[in-house]
């Protein structure tokens, strides 16, 4: 399916000749697609994304892939700043409180496959907004089905447990930026251990070590 072109004025050139090497997934946190499109295309809001997928699977494109959309904001990944210049942003119409629909996920799988092939982006470079900005973001949140993407080779997911090493060490290796330890733990859990609650556990540490061991830059 070709995306529906719905241009946003909120974009600019990628800085320093950078190309997309990451894909950042978001939820809109709004009531529906119409409200989200209005905000992502409002000059006063100064936010945008390259793509948005509705709950019924409709795909919109707002910014050309070679341009810098304003979706990521302040944050970092693997020690790199200006994530907007390094990434493609994909918004999913969802409040964060409900599961993501099957048509929406199917459209996302098709989109990710095309983007990853077009820009040579590996599975471990598909991240959530909360991964690169744990102090201030929670999306796409604990309801998002990361294992489904991983089974299609479109993301990473830990298989088993690693050694019991310091959580901060593993999170640094994975790519999480320095932040409040509790918020960084929560961001990790949103992504890799969504059923976990309460204080840090041995299982958190061993799961994080397993993730770190699978990544190409560790």
Q: List pLDDT tens digits, range 86-111.
A: 999 999 999 999 999 999 999 999 99
Query: Do 89 and 23 belong to one domain?
Result: yes
Residue 10 banded pLDDT, cuts 50, 70, 90:
very high
What pLDDT shows up at residue 114?
Answer: 98
Question: What residues make up the domain containing 34?
Answer: 4-151
Helices (H), the chain: 33-40, 83-86, 102-119, 129-132, 146-151, 167-174, 181-192, 202-214
* Residue-level length of the chain: 218
Q: What is the share, in percent, of the chain residues with pLDDT greater than 70?
A: 98
Is 162 part of a structural domain of the chain?
Answer: no
What pLDDT shows up at residue 218?
Answer: 41
Query: Do 63 and 89 belong to one domain?
Result: yes
Total domain count, the chain: 2
Which two three-digit tokens encode residue 135? Answer: 């102090």
**pTM, whole model, 2 decimals?**
0.97
Residue 31 banded pLDDT, cuts 50, 70, 90:
confident
Q: Is 217's pLDDT higher than 70?
A: no
User: Active-site residues: which are they?
Assistant: 91
Is 158 part of a structural domain of the chain?
Answer: no
Is 160 part of a structural domain of the chain?
Answer: no
Query: Do 204 and 141 belong to one domain?
Result: no
Query: Do 188 and 99 belong to one domain?
Result: no
CATH of the domain at 122: 3.40.80.10
Q: Looking up tokens 């990710």, which residue turns up?
A: 112
The alpha carbons of the chain give a radius of gyration, in whole angstroms, of 17
């Amino acid at each position: 399916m070709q995306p529906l072109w719905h241009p946003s004025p909120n974009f600019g050139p990628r800085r320093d000749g950078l190309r997309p090497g990451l894909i950042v997934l978001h939820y809109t946190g709004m009531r529906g697609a119409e409200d989200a499109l209005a905000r992502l295309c409002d000059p006063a809001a100064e936010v945008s994304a390259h793509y948005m997928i509705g709950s019924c699977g409709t795909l919109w494109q707002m910014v050309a892939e070679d341009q810098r959309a304003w979706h990521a904001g302040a944050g970092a990944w693997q020690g790199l700043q200006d994530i907007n210049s390094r990434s493609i942003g994909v918004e999913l119409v969802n409040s964060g409180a409900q599961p993501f629909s099957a048509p929406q996920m199917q459209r996302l799988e098709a989109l990710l496959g095309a983007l990853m092939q077009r820009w040579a982006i590996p599975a471990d470079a598909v991240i959530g907004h909360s991964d690169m900005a744990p102090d201030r973001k929670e999306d796409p949140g604990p309801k998002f089905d990361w294992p489904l993407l991983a089974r299609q080779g479109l993301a990473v997911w830990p298989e088993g447990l690693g050694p019991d090493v310091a959580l901060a060490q593993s999170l640094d290796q994975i790519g999480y930026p320095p932040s409040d330890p509790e918020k960084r733990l929560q961001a990790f859990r949103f992504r890799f251990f969504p059923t976990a609650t309460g204080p840090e556990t041995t299982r958190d540490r061993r799961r994080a070590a397993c993730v770190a061991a699978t990544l190409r830059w560790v």
